[in-house]
Structure 1
Amino acid sequence: MIAAAALPLLVAAVWATLRGIEAAGLTEGPGLEHAWLWAPVGALLVVQTVLFACERPHRAKASTTDAWHVAVVVPVFNEDRAYLRAALTALAAQTRRPDAVHVVDDGSVHDYTEVRAWWTDHARAAGIRTTWQRTANRGKRHAQAQALKEAGNPDIVVTVDSDAKLAHDALHEILQPFADPRVQGCAGLVLAANHRSTLLSRFTDLYFVANQLVDRSALSPLGAVMVSPGSLAAYRASVLTDNLHTYLTERFLGRQVQFSDDSLLTLFALLKGRVVQQPTAIVLTAMPERPGHHLRQYLRWMRGSTIRSLWRARYLPLTHPAFVAQVLRWFLQLLCTGAICWLAVLHLRHSTTPSPWLIAVPLALGYAQALRYLTVRRDDETPEYQLVTWLLTPLALLWAGTVLRAVRWYAIATCGNTDWGTRAAGPEVSLAPS
């Protein structure tokens, strides 16, 4: 399946590159934009596709991973009770069960008394040590730190969001890369649990899954994954314990940073060794179902991404693959935004009909990239439904290229606002009763 997805993307990327080279000799007219846009974009996709084809699930001996003490940390803040219960149920049903699960309620407005009582009994029956604390609201990082105090001295710490339902073998899979002593962190593959709820949650599932299998899959063979998702990530315990003070006290422009915790933990891991992705470690999480929630979440992510990119530039060696990838991201962001603005001015000024290549090339590349979405085999979906979702690629491209691009630039301009921005008064996504 990897080769099947990589080959069409490679063909499309080479085609885009050749179109750019062909247009490079033009000095005016609609061919100009192809030279400085499609050639570098296509060349980058060629490299990404080759690296994607190199990604393989890591494998370790069972005797190795079973010997580790694995602690799962679950911070909770105003989570929907049904989602939280589903997340905890999935932890107890793992093929490789965690040794301990530490839940911290970070001052939620909800009363989780019934869920807590049920989980305490359920975990005991499953042979899992568990703790459940309620603290004053101080943010996700402090909740994780409080859970870490209860964990004792684990070998591996797994961070799981309170709405994240792990596939039955996700914990087993995410532990596999740590048989390599150089690996300090591992990212799971995040899918939308509620992709059937709205059109927005459906095509954002397509967009985000494809991005994970493009960007992270390209960086994983280099040991340079830049963000491990909060829904499912694993780290050697020393990554957290050695950097706990910095993690809890990070400040930017004089303000305490309350978000981007996942990318900061990943940066700590990168400074100690390799960070990889295990695409077979699958987790289902709740995606925003309404535009307002979606945009606030993305704004928070992009503000965090801006801060984190500055930290990578400051602390990573110039030769580190993650530093190089960060520079390429800046370049492509400026290039694509500049292309959109330039083309708008050019065609408005000359009242010319846009070249069909301006639609055909990005559409072909988008469809080719999104083919990776079809390589994921889901227990909750049929291949036919996934195929129809893949056909929504133009909608995802339009949304990402216009609305999300504007939000990203706004986030860069307002990155000094370090508030969380969602779920202050309660859950924004609820699990409908079955």
Structure 2
Amino acid sequence: MGAEGAGAGSTGALTARRRRPAALLAVLAGLLVVATVLAAYGLRAWGVALGAEARWAQWMWTPLAAALVLQTALYLAERPVRAAPAQQRALDRLEVAVLVPVFDEDPGYLRSALAALLEQTRRPQSVHVVDDGSTVDYREVRAQWLRAAAAAGVRASWQRQPNRGKRRAQVAAARHCPGADVLVTVDSDAHLDPHALHELLQPLADPRVQAVAGVVVAHNNRRGPISRIADLWYVTNQLVDRSALSPLGAVTVCSGSLAAYRAAVLTDHLEEYVTERFAGRPVTFSDDSMLTFYALRRGRVVQQPTAIVFSVMPETVGHHLRQYLRWMRGSTIRSLWRVRYLPLHHPAFLAQVLRWYQHLAATAAAALLLGHSLRTGTPPPPALLAVPLLVVSGQTLRYLTVRRSDQSLRSQLGTWALTPLAVAWSWAVLRPVRWYATATCLRTGWGTRCNGPEVTAAPVR
């Protein structure tokens, strides 16, 4: 099976829904409560492990435990937004334009992404593709796409420009739809669930909402352990961290794979968006968090958990680490922007400060425990090590709340069972990479896809 087969093929069978019954969430809530209780037990475990040093560990751990309880309550409170009939009629009248920047994407994934836009239950009025100087020949994909869009009654454009970066490609696409009310950003490998666009627009019935994030799952999550772990980690992050911020209207990043913005969020900042600089250097990544930052300064930013998109995750360790390094460098820059420019009372400001504390405290606690073990020659008690594992295992259960047409529950359980490996990978590899990214955030180059596609649409076996 080739590029139009299982890996990137016909869009009709690729769907995702929130799994029911709701009893699963009740079980999840119970497990998280148990995990929190075990975390509280960890306060005493620190004393057993560290003796006199336990006071410092307890001082660091207590706020973390409190934040966990608050976060749990918030993300369990998240509900999909449903527009009232009058509001739905207003949403139906919105001029929606989709922006698709392309650079060296695998043709199979690109073809799949574009076809999925025409299979939406709520189609966009227009779709604008900008090829940002790719080395891949897209002539066949372009011809097929333009014919299909015309047959579906969707206005479409496809332009090619010299390689100038994703932001300038988005701006070039936006200039083709000056009358749009809503700009939807999607990546060139983003395969939308058929209901994704309809669901994504629902929160915009509230005029205070300036941007809406969709939920991203891995298109290629059965292509090896790296893609499975990335899928598990990424979905959990969205359904824990972002779901906790959504009721506050303070989502800090709307993923580029699927996000909707009121058009003015971009058009009012065109020049500063494409010329952003940090410490005198041009910033070429972190475009999604920059658009989200603009939206946060104008109003609420939420996540719609029923707007689901399939995106391609790295399949090799090298690609995974390069992508994560770029994300964390962008996260460092954007976190400074939030603290500098958002009001002190803004929930996103408070969330950012808390996130900094969580990273510092968790790293310090791990260093304290490791140092004590090296000095005394005794390993930490198993109960202490079990606390973070049980907490994360409870959180990753939310991965199972997404029911996919291309994956059985058994397969998803197999991915969830990788949680211990994902935790070990996070602590042993990703956390050091994160600190390295913070220290090297002045390196603002993209860092991936420099020599053609890094992931190809081969069939899943």
Using structure 2 for the length normalisation, give the TM-score: 0.91
**Aligned residues of 2:50 and 2:369 also touching (Cα < 8 A):** no
Gaps of 5+ in 1: none
Q: Match for 1:28: what amino acid?
A: G
Partner of 1:289: 315
Q: Which is worse superposed, 324-333 or 26-35?
A: 26-35
Instruction: Give the Cα–Cα distance (whole angstroms) in 1 for the partners of residues 222 and 56 of structure 2.
Output: 38
Q: CA deviation at 1:7?
A: 2.7
Contact (CA 8 Å) 1:5, 1:375: kept in 2 or not?
no
Could you give the per-residue CA deviations for residues 104-123 of structure 1, whole angstroms, max 9, x where no partner exists? 00000111110000000000
Instruction: Tell me the equivalent position of 1:40.
Output: 63
Question: Does the residue aligned with 2:184 lie in a helix, a strand or coil?
Answer: strand
Paired residue for 1:335?
361
Q: Mapping of 1:45-194 within 5 angstroms?
A: 45-60=68-83, 61=85, 62-194=88-220
The structural deviation recorded for 1:38 is 4.0
CA contact (8 A) 1:259 1:419 kept: yes
**How many angstroms apart in 1 are the aligned matches of 2:30 and 2:275?**
46
Aligned to 2:386: 360
Query: What SS does the corresponding residue of 1:51 show, helix, strand or coil?
Result: helix
Q: Distance in 2 between matches of 1:206 and 1:166?
A: 19
Q: Specify the code of the residue in structure 1 equivalent to 2:227.
A: S
Which amino acid counterpart does residue 249 of structure 2 have in structure 1?
G
What CA distance in whole angstroms lies between the structure 1 residues aligned with 2:52 and 2:233? 32
SS at match of 2:115: helix
Secondary structure of 1:388's partner?
helix
Structure 1 residue 29: Cα displacement: 5.9
Residue 62 of structure 2 aligns with an amino acid whose one-letter code is: A
Cα separation, 2, equivalents of 1:33 and 1:365:
21
* Contact 2:400/2:413 (<8 A) preserved: yes
Contact 1:19–1:34 (CA<8 Å) still a contact in 2? Answer: no
Match of 2:286 among 252, 260, 281: 260
Check if 1:5 corresponds to 2:28: yes
Unaligned runs of 5+ in 2: 1-21
The structure-2 alpha-carbon separation of the partners of 1:316 and 1:87, relative to structure 1 and needing over 3 Å to count, comes to same
Distance 2:185 2:272 in 1: 18
What are the superposed Cα offsets for residues 265-297 of structure 1, whole Å, 9 maximum, x if unpaired? Answer: 000000000000001000001000000000000
1:64 Cα offset (Å): 2.2
CA contact (8 A) 2:123 2:197 kept: yes
1:37-75 residue CA offsets vs partner (Å, 9 max, x unmatched)? 543322211101100111000111331221111000000
**Structure 2 residue 274 is matched with structure 1 residue 274:** no
| Equivalent residue, structure 1, for 2:43 | 20
* Post-superposition offset of 1:33: 6.8
Paired with 1:29 and 1:118, the residues of 2 have a C-alpha distance of 70
Between the aligned partners of 1:27 and 1:118, the Cα distance in structure 2 is 65
Measured after TM superposition, the shift of residue 335 of structure 1 is 0.7
1:233-252 Cα distance to aligned partner (Å, 9 max, x none): 00000100111111011001
Contact 1:74–1:160 at 8 Å: present in 2 too? yes
Q: Is 1:230 aligned to 2:253, yes or no?
A: no
**Number of equivalent positions:** 434
User: Where does residue 412 of structure 2 map in the other structure?
Assistant: 386
CA shift, 1:14, in A, is: 3.5
TM-score normalised by the chain length of structure 1: 0.97
Q: Distance in 2 between matches of 1:267 and 1:422?
A: 24
CA distance in 1, matches of 2:43, 2:140: 61
Partner SS for 1:339: helix
Aligned Cα root-mean-square deviation (Å): 1.7
Q: 1: distance between equivalents of 2:387 and 2:45? A: 14
Aligned-residue identity in percent: 60
- The structure with higher relative contact order (CA 8 Å, sep 6+) is 2
Q: Which residue of 2 aligns with 1:428?
A: 454
